[in-house]
């Protein structure tokens, strides 16, 4: 059974802690001790307020569900402490220097960095971009203004540009664009819309390349405790963890 340490005990952390299927939670850490203690009461794992104590516990993989800044601060230390890491706040990897350093640390310590599919679908076959020409990847995301921390009275384009710029402005909302860019090994053009008439998180993905064309639309239910985060993001972490040990590997 896979043993995990949970870094980030908010909305996604709580879903992970309440659905232990194919893995067990062994340790909890959050910058808000109350959040870690609440999950300790739910799942019985110990809560730590000191990161070094947390990372010294006996588990196989640290599951990050905290923030882009938490990845920058802690991911190198996770690998140095000889633990695998799952990174949900994948926007942190849009910085190519940080990504290079982190990948080297993973190699040095023979550990893996897992990027879950998060709030989208299609990352599996988008990896053909690493071996075959991709011409364009466009992500059009539409969320409610509240989940973007904005107040607008009609549908408004709040960002148009590249993924690595968008994630700097909206680090809590557009991690999926960086996951797409890493999978495809190609720049991702992003349009981010705030629409007061939607109560879903909608991601339209359009890809063209040597393979042909793909159009994917994901209309996500927001998660219970954080409307900016789609419920699918938490489910994707659960399914990745459940399959880590499986002899059957599905998808490219
Ligand atoms: N890859 C993807 O497809 C997706 C990624 N995400 C990302 O997943 C992450 C988790 O989402 P969600 O659970 O909804 O977020 P929440 O804000 O509900 O929970 C995050 C928790 O981590 C804590 N935290 C933040 N920064 C740090 C830090 N530096 N050190 C320790 N703890 C920290 C937060 O504390 P505090 O409240 O004080 O900030 C909070 O308790 C977010 O970064 C989100 O943007 C979300 C959806 C899709
Ligand atoms: O949950 C979503 O729909 C997308 C999201 O917040 C992110 O990519 O950061």
Closest approach atom of ligand 2 to CA 143: 3
The CA distance from 184 to 134, in Å, is 8
* ipTM value greater than 0.95: yes
Tokens representing 66 are 């905290």
Mean pLDDT for the chain overall: 97
Q: Which residue among the candidates 35, 186, 203, 221 is catalytic per the annotation?
A: 203
Mean pLDDT throughout 133-162? 97
CA of 56 relative to ligand 2 center, distance in Å: 30
Tokens representing 48 are 């730590």
Predicted confidence at residue 143, as pLDDT, reads 98
The CA distance from 37 to 69, in Å, is 22
Q: For residues 11 and 31, is the Cβ–Cβ distance under 8 A?
A: no
Predicted confidence at residue 142, as pLDDT, reads 98
In sequence order, what are the beta bridge partners of 159?
192
Tokens representing 251 are 């998808």
SS3 147: helix
User: Tens digits of per-residue pLDDT, 172-229?
Assistant: 999 999 999 999 999 999 999 999 999 999 999 999 999 999 999 999 999 989 999 9
User: Tens digits of per-residue pLDDT, 47-72?
Assistant: 999 999 999 999 999 999 999 999 99
Q: Could you tell me the pTM of the whole model?
A: 0.98
The CA distance from 4 to 84, in Å, is 9
For residues 143-173, one letter each, b for 16 or more C-beta atoms within 10 angstroms of the residue's C-beta and e for the rest, the string is bbbebbeeeeeeeeebbeeebbebbeebbbb
User: Tens digits of per-residue pLDDT, 1-17?
Assistant: 999 999 999 999 999 99
CA of 66 relative to ligand 1 center, distance in Å: 3
The CA distance from 91 to 96, in Å, is 11
Mean pLDDT throughout 228-237? 98
Which residue's entry shows tokens 């104590």? 53
């Amino acid at each position: 059974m896979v043993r995990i340490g949970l870094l980030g005990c908010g909305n996604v952390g709580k879903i992970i802690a309440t659905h232990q299927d194919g893995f067990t939670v062994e340790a909890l850490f959050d910058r808000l001790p109350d959040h870690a203690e609440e999950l300790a009461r739910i799942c019985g794992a110990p809560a730590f307020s000191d990161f070094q104590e947390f990372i010294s516990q006996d588990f196989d993989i640290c599951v990050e569900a905290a923030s882009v800044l938490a990845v920058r601060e802690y991911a190198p230390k996770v690998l140095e402490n000889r633990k695998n890491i799952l990174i949900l706040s994948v926007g942190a990897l849009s910085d190519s220097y940080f990504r290079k350093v982190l990948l080297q640390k993973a190699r040095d310590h023979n550990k893996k960095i897992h990027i879950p599919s998060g709030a989208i679908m299609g990352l599996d076959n988008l990896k053909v971009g690493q071996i075959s020409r991709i011409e364009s990847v466009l992500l059009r995301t539409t969320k409610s203004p509240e989940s973007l921390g904005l107040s607008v009275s009609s549908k408004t384009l709040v960002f148009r540009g590249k993924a690595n710029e968008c994630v700097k402005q909206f680090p809590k909302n557009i991690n999926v664009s960086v996951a797409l860019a890493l999978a495809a090994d190609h720049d991702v053009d992003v349009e981010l819309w705030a629409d007061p008439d939607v109560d879903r998180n909608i991601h339209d993905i359009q890809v063209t390349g040597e393979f042909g064309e793909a159009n994917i639309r994901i209309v996500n239910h927001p998660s219970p405790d954080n409307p900016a985060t789609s419920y699918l993001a938490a489910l994707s972490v659960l399914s990745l963890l459940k399959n880590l040990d499986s002899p059957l590997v599905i998808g490219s």
